[in-house]
Structure 1
Amino acid sequence: MKIRRIQEADLWTVAYIIRRNLDEVMAEQHSPAVIEKYKNQNTQEKLLKQMDWKEIYVVEDHSGIIATGAIASFGGQNKPRYSISNFFVKPELQHKGVGKLLMEHLLNEARKKNALTLHVPSSNNAVAFYEKMGFVTDKIQDDREDEITWLTMAMK
């Protein structure tokens, strides 16, 4: 498997992987309104704009792109500085180590930035994965309206 920065030619595939996760995985534990909101936030056009301010990566294997994840930079000391974003693995490849490989890559990239903490907004179905990777629930950030659990990791 290979991890690399996203290219404009990858946008359709990445948007498709995200949409599949929303429809096939997240829809089991999230309301239709939230699923629709996330679909609207992850179109090819919106992902193209995100490429300007997020470091978006893709994981490829012999079949093509199989996962995506990003590091987003947000300003201010009272709000998260670095956050994991757009983290999705093809549904049929979940629980096979792809997400762990991608997360380790993102953690290494965050360390290169000397990030003190790293945050992740998690869907209900992914909380256990992030906890396994070392994140803990952040009680300060509450995002119930978007059905998100924020988790934080102190970087070493």
Structure 2
Amino acid sequence: MDYTIRPALEDDAADISAVILRALRETNAKDYTNEIIARIALSFSPDAVRRLIGQRTVFVATFRGRVVATASLDGSVVRTVFVAPEVQARGIGKLLMAEIERTARERNIPSLTVPSSVTAETFYAGLGFSSVHDSYHGDERTIIMERLLH
């Protein structure tokens, strides 16, 4: 399939929000309680996503003009990597991460850190990230992972 990776626009905020919320509720819900999912979801309303687009380098993947995934770079930290459930495991996340890495290299960032969900740990490990330590926000477990860029 032919996916396009491009910088996110403010007009993408509602579509990005919808992708994130669906991925949280359908994919991450396998590893997190409903309470944790609900708490995380509060951070990804369309208005919140619009603010993030102004603060970070945000990318989207589109298929036939429709936003199907997103990822962002906040300094040297990879954040908000989500793929719509119906197109997961098709290489879209890898395409987004390649764009994040390319951008980081252009900015001479020596390493990338990602606060990974339990759900995404194997995805990031497959891209060469190593677990550094666990982090907890209440009962929400996040795995801090890092990858050196050569």
TM-score by length of 2: 0.92
Aligned match of 2:84 in 90, 97, 100? 90
* Equivalent residue number for residue 19 of structure 1: 21
CA contact (8 A) 1:55 1:71 kept: yes
Quick one: percent identity of the two aligned structures?
25
CA contact (8 A) 1:17 1:89 kept: yes
* Equivalent residue number for residue 7 of structure 1: 9
CA contact (8 A) 2:135 2:141 kept: no
Query: What secondary structure sits across from 1:51 in the alignment?
Result: helix
Please, which runs of 5 or more residues in structure 2 have no aligned partner? none
Distance in 2, matches of 1:25 and 1:126, equals 10
TM-score by length of 1: 0.89
The one-letter amino acid paired with 2:58 is I
Aligned match of 1:124 in 103, 108, 118? 118
Distance in 2, matches of 1:95 and 1:28, equals 16
Deviations 1:53-111 (A, max 9, x none): 200110112151111000012xxxxxxxx111110111111111111111111111111
Distance in 2, matches of 1:45 and 1:61, equals 23
CA contact (8 A) 1:124 1:147 kept: yes
Q: Does 1:103 align with 2:105?
A: no
